Every structure is written in structure tokens, then in C-alpha cells.
Amino acid sequence: MQRILVTGSTGNLGRAVVATLTTKGVHVLAAARNPGKVVPSAGIEPIAFDYVAPATHAAALRGVTGLFLLAPPLDPEAPAKLNPVIDLAKARGLQHIVLVSALGVDAVEEAPLRVVERHLLASGVPHTILRPNFFMENFSTGFLAPMLKQGGILLAAADGKTTFISVADIAEVAATAFVKGLTSRQYNLTGPAALDHRTVTAIISKLSRKPITYQAIPEEAMFRGLRGTGMPEGAVQYVGVLYRAVRAGYAATVTTDVETVTGRKPIPFEAFASQNAAAWA
């Protein structure tokens, strides 16, 4: 039986990966800085893991066959955190690492997640690289949810379009990659349609019957807002890079990789929103 260590298991994507792997009969070690945050369930073993506490890495990797590897979000230090874990996985003879990167990262060699991708590629460990676009769940449980609760989102996205994808689809790709052994592959994962933020907020507004708006703001105003929330400067600049890509149209790409791997089309935003309407009640 496969035993997969899932990093970020308490987060939006990691939670979905844990759930999908267990439905496929895989034994999951759910890694978290505080394992008490992992919801107990059959087939799920909570385990302590912190990128900045190397002593936790050896115990977490003991006896596992595969590793689902993701970086803390917006982290310019991702290579310093993830690369030593890839090295340890190699030393332990792991059969498969599925790495979460981000759409478009392979066009920017110095991007932190691209540096991690190249480290994994050079390691020789059997691997799958997933490059998802922005998550739909950013609006329901992610970083945009608090703004929506206050009636609207302010972003330096202009009228740039994004092929938002649900973490459920990314998780299905990740779990399929482990179960079918889809190694030496790189998948660019998007939702089915490119939408701007005005359209997305209109969909959410209609479903929640609440006036929710989108206001395009200049980059400097977005930076001031993010700094006001206490976000570290490295993460603020990281967000700047992401929304420059949105404004330039790079996030509007549609790919068919979800369907290629899973055999089913990715969920449209409207369906995601109606399934998650309670988030905006």
C-alpha cells in the first residue's frame, strides 16, 4: 500500500489532497506544524512537520513511499525550505514526489518555485510537477475571503482574466498521479474559462444575494493594503509579480491537462460558487 506524506495538509489544497487520496485507499500522513489541527479520520495519520524545524523531517518521511510537496504560500524562501526535503526524500529512496508549483513559473528561471522545480528535476527522484492557476477557493476560504465578507475585493488585477481552478481538480490530478505512477510529467492546470474579477464577484453576489463588488486599484495601493495586514515585504512583492502576470494576460491561458489526467473536465466557476455559497452567507 502507498503511504504518502502530504505537506500543507491543513491548507486549502493540502486538505483536498488528503481527502482525495483517502478515497482512493491510500494511507496518508498529514503533515502540519501543529498536528492537532488535522481532523482525525480513518486512513489519516497526523504528523508534525515544519520546514524550519529540520528535526521533524526525518520522522515525517520514515516509511513513506511518496511525498506531496507544497511551499508555504507567497514565500520567497521556498527553495531554502523545500530543497533539503527533496534531498532527504532522495536519500530515503522515495518512489515519487508530486510538487505543487504555479502556472507560468517555468517562464521565469529565478522565480522561487522554478528554482525548486529545477532542484527536483536534477535530483533524479521520480516526480510530477503541477502548475495550477489561481485557486477558486481563494474567494471562499483563502486570502480573498475576508475582503468578500466586507463587501468587495480591491486588487491590482485591472480587467485581466484568469482561468481559476478548484483545489478539488488539482487534488484529483495529484492523487491520480500517485495512484497511476504518472512520473516524469509536468502539468499546467487551469479551470475551463477565463474570467475577470468583475465577472467572478458578480457570480458570487448573485448567489449570495449580497452586493459584492470588484474595484481595480493601482499596484501601489494594493501594496499599502497588504502591508496594512502585516504581510511581510517579500510576500507583498510576490503578490505584485502575480498580479502583473494577470494584468499582462498570462493567467488567461486554458489548458486541457486536468481532463487528460483525470478523464473529466474541470469544474466551472459558477458550479464551484453554487457548491460553496455558504461561504458568503
Q: Say how far residue 179 (Cα) sits from the centre of its chain.
A: 20
Contact between residue 79 and residue 112 where contact means Cβ atoms under 8 Å apart: yes
Q: Give the nearest distance from C-beta 209 to ligand NAP in angstroms.
A: 26
Considering the complex, what minimum distance in angstroms separates the CB of residue 162 from ligand NAP? Answer: 9
CB of 12 to ligand NAP, least distance (A): 4
Question: Pattern of binders to ligand NAP over 126-165, x per CB under 6 A?
Answer: ------x-xx--x---x-----------------------
Q: Which residue is nearest to ligand NAP (CB)?
A: 11
119: contact with ligand NAP by CB under 6 A: no
Nearest approach in angstroms of CB 46 to ligand NAP is 11
What's the full length of the chain, in residues?
281
Binding residue (CB under 6 A) for ligand NAP from 52, 58, 59, 91 = 52
Are residues 12 and 135 in contact, defined by beta-carbon separation less than 8 angstroms? yes
User: Would you count residue 8 as binding ligand NAP (CB under 6 A)?
Assistant: yes
* Gap between the Cα atoms of 281 and 72, Å rounded: 29
Chain positions 95 to 114 lying near ligand NAP, rule: CB under 6 A, are 100, 102
- The DSSP letter of residue 278 is G
Please select the residue that binds ligand NAP; options are 4, 18, 26, 32, rule is CB under 6 A.
32
Sequential DSSP letters for 110-144: TSHHHHHHHHHHHH---EEEEEE--BGGGTTTSTT
Q: Which residues pair with 185 in a beta bridge?
A: 128
Task: Give the separation between CA 274 and CA 31, rounded to whole angstroms.
Answer: 30
Q: Which is nearer to ligand NAP, 10 or 201 (CB)?
A: 10
- Residue 184: Cβ-neighbour burial (10 angstroms; 0-12, 13-18, 19+): exposed
CA–CA gap between residue 106 and residue 115 (Å, rounded): 9
Q: Which is nearer to ligand NAP, 25 or 279 (CB)?
A: 279
Return the residues of window 61-80 that contact ligand NAP according to CB under 6 A. 70-73
Closest CA to 191 of 271, 247, 111, 274: 271
C-alpha cell at 26: 491510500
In terms of CB distance, is 73 or 152 closer to ligand NAP? Answer: 73
The C-alpha atoms of residue 132 and residue 154 are separated, in whole angstroms, by 23
Q: How far apart are CA 280 and CA 271, in angstroms?
A: 15
Task: Identify which range of 10-18, 57-65, 209-217, 258-266 contacts ligand NAP by CB under 6 A.
Answer: 10-18
Q: Which of 4, 5, 6, 14 binds ligand NAP (CB under 6 A)?
A: 14
Regarding 33 and contact with ligand NAP (CB under 6 A), the answer is yes
The residue among 25 and 98 lying less far from ligand NAP, judged by its C-beta, is: 98
Which residues of the chain form contacts with ligand NAP (CB under 6 A)? 7-14, 32-33, 37, 49-52, 70-73, 100, 102, 132, 134-135, 138, 142
